[in-house]
Each structure stands twice: as structure tokens, then as C-alpha cells.
Amino acid sequence: MAEYDFDLFVIGAGSGGVRAARLAALSGAKVAVAEEYRVGGTCVIRGCVPKKFMVYASEVSAQLKTAEGFGWSVGARTFDWKRFLQDKDVEIARLSGIYVTNLQKAGAHLLHGKARVVDAHTVEVLPKEGSQDAGRYTARRILIATGGRPVRPEFPGVDLGVTSDEAFHLPTLPKRVMVVGGGYIAVEFAGIFNGLGVETTLLYRGANILRGFDDDVRSHLADELEKRGIKVVLGCSHKSIEKTEQGLLSTLSNDLTFETDAVMFATGREPYVEGLGLDKVGVKLNERGAIAVDKHSKTNVDSIWAVGDVTDRINLTPVAIREGAAFAQTEFYGNPTSFDHELVASAVFSQPPVGVVGLSEAEARHAFGKVDIYRSIFRPMKATFYGGQERCLIKLVVKQDDEKIVGVHVVGPDSPEIIQMAAIAVKMGVTKPQWDSTCAVHPTLAEELVTMREKYMPSDVGVA
Ligand code: NDP
């Protein structure tokens, strides 16, 4: 009889857990995956994927406006929220089904129910309605990939608001919304609501949105959001929310009040470790409450690993996938692998979107002292034709001593697509002369990236 029921027991069937489980199972290992909700995790069920569908839906209103600028006559503009949600849910169910099929094809056993660690080699799956999977299972290795979940601030009436989890299922589209926070989720949802015709206020407690991003990106995006009709309120937070006859009354720290129909909190996410039994087995958490791991995603307990948002390294789907894959390579293919967390590109699907790889100007100055900046702010060709006022920002941060490009920042249409390609060169250590030797593709927005020759001095107005 085998020493353990499974070679690997994965807790959480999101991006990181599924990738690790599939790869491990394909190596011939006996693998179980427990999921308490739906297979696919945050990304597929209530994150990246449904969010992108909502972005697509909401972008149409601006596209219709542009269409008129290009000679089209566009008829009645109505948006059917309920129909959109139904179609979105059908597509999400299809994608979740593909995850299930892929796990099965790889030979992994899927167990339905919340799992918790009982000891270093035992996991208990708790009873779940409609599932017969409850019970105790032993495993040589345990991988925790439970992701994160939204957190709300604490003040009277906070429960009257929703988080991103509920925002994907609002029974009706509000007429007025207040989105709270200044991170990825807040600016993305502010754009979604605004594009869908909702009167949108973005409330952020700090001096400018997207803390941690390059300062030019932050101020440029805030301006662009306002141009598109989002009211950006900075340096303010909630005192309370009360229900009124018409909606929800937010009282802010400056004593101003705002009445909206909905308030959405995008005030960060925390590692989902609750109920996992980690304290009992002695798995250490770091000061942010995330599972502490080494470069191979191993915890302080010899038989337990963790990947993805529950480890709070870089909380992005592709990173979780790479961490899961590296774990499987190391433990099941005899190929010690660790994911390199340097120079991971990311995109914010705000409207306009942001694409970033590498360091902000401030980070680069702090790290290297002397840096050169190349910066261009311009109206894209499409906007000049129809009189649109939107502007793009392109910025390169270059280390002075060896001319390596250490940061690329793009705010404008297609910037997520552009940054994916730029990231390859930056990851390879491209220098500014090498970058500039690449001939432009014309007429594109991205050509501006390889045609900036003048160093930017802060006194420049910088409008091309
Ligand atoms: P972020 O950490 O990016 O932003 C949280 C925001 O909430 C910050 O602006 C923060 O302010 C603010 N905040 C925190 N606590 C409070 C409070 N008590 N009162 C008022 N404001 C508060 O988290 P998100 O939830 O937006 O996203 C979580 C993570 O998910 C991201 O960091 C990202 O890694 C990932 N993600 C990635 C996406 C993508 O790749 N496109 C999309 C969505 C999420 P402050 O800045 O002052 O701390």
C-alpha cells in the first residue's frame, strides 16, 4: 500500500494551483485538487476575465462616439446590463469547464469543498452540499494556492457597499456609483462604470491614484479619467455611509457628502489563509499575513509549499502560473526552478489603459542615481482626426552609466499589448542605442517608443 493517498494535494483551483496540479499529474504523480467554490479561481471567476469582458462592453460607448467622428451615424445607444451579465456568466462557466476538463485530462482528482491542513501530511476536506468528497487525505506534498480576497475599510455603514466580488453580479446597473481606492481594481472599475454610462466618482485617500506607479503615469491617467467624465476626488476617505430613500449617502473625511446608488470598495486584497489550519502545523506567515516562502515557494514546513496571491509576492495571474510551474518542475521533474520576479510587466485596464515594465523614474533615481528620461505626450492620430482631446504618454527610463532601459511606461490605447513586447527587450537588457536602432512601424502609436531622441528635462512642456 502507498505511504500516502496522494503525491501532491493542492488547495485551491485557481491559476497557480491548477498549473501546478496539471504539470505534476502529467509527470505521473497522483494529484488531488480541492476547491471550495468554482474551478478557475479569482482570475476566471471574479477577476481578470470577467473584468476584461466588462472593459470591452464599456469601451463601446467611446467607440460609438469616435464612429460619429469618422462619418458614421449611430442610432439609439442602449445597453442591456442583464443580457450582458447572462452572456458573461455563460462564457465564465465555459472557461471554468475547460479548467475542469484539463485537470481531468491530466489525471488529477478534483475534490469539492473547503480544505484545511491537519498536519504536515494530512488535509481535511470539509463537507459541501452536493459533494461526497469530505474526508481526510494524506499527501507527500501539500501546495497552498488559495489566492486572496477583498478587504474593506472599517467605518459605520461600510457593509452597505460592495467589493469586486459582488460588482460582477449587481442586479441592476447603478445610475451613480462611488468607487473607493486608487489601485488597479478601483481605476479599472471606475472606467467600466463610466463607459457604461454610470455617473462615476473615484474616491482615493492619497495624493494621486496608482501609488507605486511612475508619477507621470499617475497624473496623466488621473487627467485622462477626468477628461472622460470620471470625478476624481483625492486626499479623502469615508467617515460613514447611510442608506437614504434615493440611495447611499457617503460622508467623507472633509465632511462633504455624496449621494450615489452604489459604493464599491477596491481597497486592496488580503491573502486568503483563514480556516486553513496553518497555525496548527506551524506554517509561518510574514508581516503582511501572507504565507512566507523561499525562492522555490517552499514554506518553513518541509512538506508544504505555497504559490500565488496567498504568498503576496507579485499578485498577478501569470506570476502565480509561473510559480506553480516552477514548483512542479522542481518537485516532480527533478529540475530545480525558481521564478524570476524581476521585470514582470503589468497592465492596468483603465480607460485609457496603462502598460508598465521595470522601474518608475523615482525608483530608478533611488536605485542608480543618474538616469535619463525620454518622454512624449501626444494626441494619437485617431483623436486628431475627430477632435478628441485624449493624450497618450510614453516614457522611457534609462540608466545613465550603461544606457540600459530600466523602465517603460505607456498610457494610451493598446498599451497592454505594446508593453508585452517591450518587456521582452527590457528583460533581455536592451540599451537605448539598441532600442533606437529598431525601425519604427508607421503609422502607429508605438512608433513613438523608438523615435524619442531628446532627453526630457522637467522644464520641457513635452507635448509632441
Ligand atoms: P491595490 O493594492 O492595488 O490598491 C488598493 C487601494 O486601496 C490603494 O489605492 C489603497 O490606498 C486603497 N486603500 C487601502 N486601504 C484603504 C482604506 N482603509 N481606505 C481607503 N483606501 C484604502 O489593490 P486592488 O484591490 O486594486 O488590487 C489587488 C491586486 O490585484 C493588485 O495589487 C494587483 O496585483 C492585482 N490586480 C491586477 C490587475 C491587473 O493586472 N490588471 C487587475 C486587478 C487586480 P494606498 O495606495 O494609499 O495604500
Question: If you average pLDDT over residues 107-125, what whole number do you get?
Answer: 98
Match 494621486 to its residue by C-alpha cell: 208
Rounded distance from Cα 154 to ligand 1 centre (Å): 16
Nearest CA owner, ligand 1 atom 9: 182
What domains does the chain contain, in order, with CATH numbers?
Answer: 6-47+83-149+270-332 (3.50.50.60), 158-267 (3.50.50.60), 346-450 (3.30.390.30)
Average pLDDT of the chain is: 96
Q: Which atom of ligand 1 is nearest to the CA of 48?
A: 42
Confidence of residue 57 (pLDDT cuts 50, 70, 90): very high
Q: Which atom of ligand 1 is nearest to the CA of 209?
A: 9
Residue type for position 8: L
pLDDT given at position 75? 87
Rounded distance from Cα 210 to ligand 1 centre (Å): 8
Question: If you average pLDDT over residues 209-220, what whole number do you get?
Answer: 98
What does the alpha-carbon distance between residue 226 and residue 208 come to, in Å, rounded to a whole number?
13
Question: If you average pLDDT over residues 337-349, what whole number do you get?
Answer: 98
pLDDT at 459 over 80: no
Instruction: Output 239-244 pairs: Cβ under 8 A, ≥24 positions apart.
Output: 239/155, 239/156, 240/155, 240/156, 240/157, 241/155, 241/156, 241/157, 241/158, 241/160, 241/161, 242/157, 242/160, 243/157, 243/160
> Active-site residue 238, yes or no?
no
What residues flank ligand 1, with Cβ below 6 Å? 153, 180-186, 188, 204-206, 211, 237, 266-269, 315-316, 346-349
Looking only at the bridges linking them, the beta strands covering 405-411 and 392-399 are: antiparallel
Which residue in 114, 111, 148 sits closest to 8, CA to CA?
111
pLDDT at 411 over 90: yes
Match 500516502 to its residue by C-alpha cell: 4
Confidence of residue 457 (pLDDT cuts 50, 70, 90): confident
Rounded distance from Cα 187 to ligand 1 centre (Å): 9
End-to-end C-alpha distance for the chain, whole angstroms: 73
pLDDT at 463 over 70: no
pLDDT at 460 over 70: no
pLDDT at 381 over 90: yes
